[in-house]
Amino acid sequence: MYKSKLIDRLRLLEKDELRDFGQFIESPYYNKDEKAIKLFKYLKKYHPVFAGKQLDREYIATKLFPEWKAKQYKKISYLMTDLSQLVDDFITVRELENDKFEYRQIQLRAYKRRKGDWFFNQAAKKLKKDLDKTPERGVDYYFQNYRLNHEIYTHATTNRIQTRIQSLENTINNLDLFYFSSKLRYGSEVQLRQLLFSEKNDLILLDEILEAVNLTAFDNAIFVRVFAKLIQLCRTQDKIIYDEVKLLIINNFEQFNAIEQVDAINLINSFCLIEYNQGNTEYLPEIFEIHEFGLKHNIWIIDGRMRRAIFDNIVAIACNSKKFDWADTFIRRYARYIREDIAQDVLMLAKCRLEFSMGNFDKTLELIRDAELIDGRYQESAKIFQIRCYYELSDYHDTFYDACNAFAQYCRRNKLMSQPDKTSYLNFITFIKQLHEARYARNSIKIQLLEKLEKNALPYTGWLKEKIEQDVK
């Protein structure tokens, strides 16, 4: 059962949500099956890991429902499907409860459909007032205003035989702002991907929109201006434009909602990473400053959790910036925001990265030896750190090659590893072995190694380049 869709869904629930879900399925409005309640009460004890023989389907069926004499596997499977649907219903209802404007838009349509005109008008006025109160002026704000004015204009009580219908004008204006904002938001993503992957994508009307942004009608549309500037930045790669757009984002950060804040920060951060990876070291302090700004504004923690990729990246950036004390403080302070089932792996890898970056290679190896990693990706990262430590330490010549060959064999045999990851790791192994041999070679192959490194996308490119410069004649 631990590999079932039901267990995968239950892992989506936080600890405090388990209690709420229990109350949800006990409501006869949503569920009338007592067996589903009994199954959930049993399973929640194993949240979030859900491991052990106690989760075998036949075992659960026998323990919880001894009255089932035959076809236990099918019956428990049907019950799991029903409970899975209840989880889906719960998270949908919870999502609606948490999105106050979406909830009220649906409520508005309900009044409209039931011809509750007085209730509709009161709800529409209140929704408009509350939308205007919010500091946010981004895509979602324009979209919600467009929907509200559309409902008002198409309501049966709206008199259309008059001049200057305000709800019609508001519908059109907010539709324009919503469309321009969305187009520029995704357009900036496309432009960034062209820098990263050389993807060609000619977006219809993008140049015309960029020209229209200069009209006075968009003077106060900060969101539109920010993402228009981001497109200009990706096209020109001009540091002056970067400074302008960064200032625009920082000075108007409160006008974006939580998702838009992350989008804006991620886009300028991605641009900085591209520049840094191309050798523009002036962007490394910018990358660190961007992530520190994100921490101060709490944008990396969503629903009480920080994604492991964000946690890993922040530690890596701090280590690359030689801010070791800062990285150590970050690890200790923010580890509690990582999901419990992966926290041990994430924390171990962060400590390995920190110790390795400080040159404590023996300590890094000790951490890896003592670790009991669950996640395959972290096992692979630990093996790479291990190989890099053996490279750095002079007493591990044979162990280095043994570790390289063992990891190469692991990659080739691993059926769960994606082909791009497999290729990347195997290329890394081949390259680091060549680098190790080059340290002792009589003839210099530094230029050939640097050219090869530039042509191939390998993990830890910066470190490999540094080792070539330091170790190869």
Q: What's the rounded Cα separation, in Å, for the pair 237 and 423?
A: 31
Percent of the chain with pLDDT over 70: 99
123, 150, 170, 240 from 111: Cα distances, Å: 9, 15, 21, 52
Give 443's DSSP letter.
S
Give 303's DSSP letter.
T
Those residues with Cβ within 8 angstroms of residue 65's Cβ, 6 or more apart along the chain or in another chain: 35, 38, 72, 75, 76
DSSP element (H, E) containing 113? helix 100-113
What is the reported pLDDT for 69? Answer: 67
Instruction: Mark 251-276 as b/e (b = at least 16 C-beta within 10 Å).
Output: ebbebbbeebbbbbbbbbbbbbbbbb
H helices within 134-257, ranges in order?
A: 139-153, 166-197, 206-212, 222-236, 239-251
Instruction: Give tens-digit pLDDT for 2-17.
Output: 678 999 999 999 888 9
Instruction: Mark 426-448 as b/e (b = at least 16 C-beta within 10 Å).
Output: eebbebbbebbebeeeeeebeee
Instruction: Mark 369-394 as b/e (b = at least 16 C-beta within 10 Å).
Output: eebebeeeebbbbbbbbbbbbbbbee
CB 374 within 8 A of CB 345: yes
Cα–chain center distance at 131: 27
What is the reported pLDDT for 279? Answer: 81
What is the reported pLDDT for 70? Answer: 64
Instruction: Give tens-digit pLDDT for 390-446.
Output: 999 988 999 999 999 999 999 999 998 999 999 999 999 999 999 999 988 877 788
The pTM for the full model equals 0.78
Q: Which residues of the chain have pLDDT under 50?
A: none
